[in-house]
Amino acid sequence: MSAIWHPFTQHGLGEPIPHVVRAEGALLFTADGRRIVDGISSWWVTTHGHCHPRISAAIADQAARLDQIIFAGWTHGPAEEVAAGLAAIMPAELTRVFFSDSGSTAVEVALKMALGFWRNRGEPRHRILVLEHGYHGDTIGAMSVGARGVFNRAYEPLLFDVATIPFPAGGAEQATMDALERECRAGAAAFIVEPLILGAGGMLTYAPETLARMRAVCAQHGVLFIADEVMTGWGRTGTLLGAEQAGIVPDILCLSKGLTGGAVPLAVTMATEAIWDAHLSRDRADMFFHSSSYTANPVACAAAAANLAIWRDEPVLDRVAALAGAQAEALAAPSGHPAVSATRILGTVAALDLVSDAPGYLSDLGPALRAHFLDAGLLLRPLGNTVYVMPPYCIGAEDLAAIWSAIGDAANRIA
């Protein structure tokens, strides 16, 4: 019996826990000799494929030279390289880079930057605007700005003065804009949003034009706009950032997951000069009070620098476009299936809802589908009755076909 308590796992169900010993590209290999296709990029992180030789080599090299150094008031080459690399490809307005360790902490940092901005300007604001069905991580601050529901009911009342803006479902965009306008007018510190697609909320997509309108309303009322691109960043949506498709630049940008190509944990929160300036004075009480022991760990930064070099040297967006095309083609087959109630696609992310008497994250379909996919040699982890495919960009055509064939089988069993 293992002593390990796994995340998002109901151990009482006794589901099998595969033991992985090696990974390469889009493939995982288990201790019992199985070859598994990673259909979700190991929780949406692996962009270029597992154990990309350039990233693995950079990690090994850095680990042998400088493993760790305090980052409060100290610096090192890999962090400087990451900051310079980000400056070269991210929107020019985002001049400042703050490191942390996960998507959740990137969000915590973003929220604290927004609160600190208003506090240091002598106009404290506390209200955070959030989008219905949003998800921003599992630390308590990040959870507090996520949709209230099954993920966080146990931890209520949570933190923050939060106002929820309705999701711009097809045709309901005006209700979204009206609510946002009203809340911005009443005064809020920031609006936090996942650009173009809400991930853990069910892979729900909305139009770039809506994102552009939401950004404009916040700008008009001086409410800080936080783009959480932890999932959508690094090509997932077809472009480097989702925000690009709306032609917008946020005040604060959260990145993690594919920042290191998915190899080791690291995150950044990027901010405009105005947010930096609000923390800049000779008063130590105005500084940004955030760190963790491992902020900007050199080994993680070396992996991120290697990821940036891959983006610079290799045709990553061509691979993204090829995968996006293959996903769109594959999604066409189940689209008319009687057991499929809806399909969605954005860039490399394709999703469908299976008909269910009790839809949602706790749908009984979840565990049954996981078992079905594992039997078929696949790592897929549906969000309840929503099945999605989000593989590494290097996945082979046959492996992708195997995923969609197993999804078709699952739909046939239900219909």
Provide the annotated binding site. 43, 103-104, 135, 228, 257, 291-293, 381
| The only residue of 97, 107, 129, 305 in contact with ligand PLP, by rule CB under 6 A | 107
Distance CA 104, CA 225 (A): 17
Alpha carbons within 13 A on the beta-carbon side of 74: 12
Of 242 and 334, which has the nearer Cβ to ligand PLP? 242
Peptide bond into 298 cis (omega under 30): no
Distance CA 132, CA 139 (A): 19
Task: Please identify, among the stretches 103-111, 184-192, 290-298, 367-375, the one whose residues bind ligand PLP according to the rule CB under 6 A.
Answer: 103-111
**Interaction between residue 46 and ligand PLP (CB under 6 A):** no
Find out whether 79 and 296 touch, Cβ atoms under 8 Å. Answer: yes
**Interaction between residue 104 and ligand PLP (CB under 6 A):** yes
Q: From the annotation, which residues make up the binding site for pyridoxal 5'-phosphate?
A: 103-104, 228, 292-293
Find out whether 16 and 374 touch, Cβ atoms under 8 Å. Answer: yes
**Interaction between residue 102 and ligand PLP (CB under 6 A):** yes
Q: How far is the CB of 337 from ligand PLP (least distance, A)?
A: 27
| The only residue of 103, 141, 195, 391 in contact with ligand PLP, by rule CB under 6 A | 103
Q: How far is the CB of 257 from ligand PLP (least distance, A)?
A: 6
> How many CB atoms are located within 10 Å of the residue 31 CB?
10
Distance CA 249, CA 275 (A): 14
Distance CA 21, CA 97 (A): 35
Q: Where are the beta strands (DSSP E) in 103-189?
A: 127-131, 161-165
**Interaction between residue 108 and ligand PLP (CB under 6 A):** no
**By rule CB under 6 A, what string of x and - marks binding of each residue 189-208 to ligand PLP?**
-----x----xx--------
Q: From the annotation, which residues make up the binding site for substrate?
A: 43, 135, 257, 291, 381
Q: Tokens standing for 412?
A: 């046939």
Distance CA 83, CA 296 (A): 11
136's CB contacts (< 8 A; 6+ apart) are: 103, 104, 107, 142, 143, 145, 146, 192, 194, 228, 230
Of 38 and 228, which has the nearer Cβ to ligand PLP? 228
**Interaction between residue 47 and ligand PLP (CB under 6 A):** no
Of 86 and 390, which has the nearer Cβ to ligand PLP? 390
Q: How far is the CB of 122 from ligand PLP (least distance, A)?
A: 31
Find out whether 135 and 197 touch, Cβ atoms under 8 Å. Answer: no
Per DSSP, 189 falls in state: S
> How many CB atoms are located within 10 Å of the residue 32 CB?
8
Distance CA 80, CA 362 (A): 44
Q: How far is the CB of 210 from ligand PLP (least distance, A)?
A: 17
Q: How far is the CB of 203 from ligand PLP (least distance, A)?
A: 10
Of 236 and 337, which has the nearer Cβ to ligand PLP? 236
Q: Which of residues 133-152 bind ligand PLP (CB under 6 A)?
A: 135-137
SS3 content of the chain, % helix, strand, coil (to 5): 40, 15, 40
Distance CA 56, CA 250 (A): 32
Task: Please identify, among the stretches 96-104, 168-176, 288-296, 370-378, the one whose residues bind ligand PLP according to the rule CB under 6 A.
Answer: 96-104
Q: How far is the CB of 267 from ligand PLP (least distance, A)?
A: 7
Q: Which of residues 214-233 bind ligand PLP (CB under 6 A)?
A: 228, 230-231
Q: How far is the CB of 323 from ligand PLP (least distance, A)?
A: 19
Strand 386-389, strand 96-100: pairing: unpaired
Of 85 and 103, which has the nearer Cβ to ligand PLP? 103
Q: How far is the CB of 135 from ligand PLP (least distance, A)?
A: 6
Residue ranges binding ligand PLP (CB under 6 A): 44, 102-104, 107, 135-137, 194, 199-200, 228, 230-231, 256
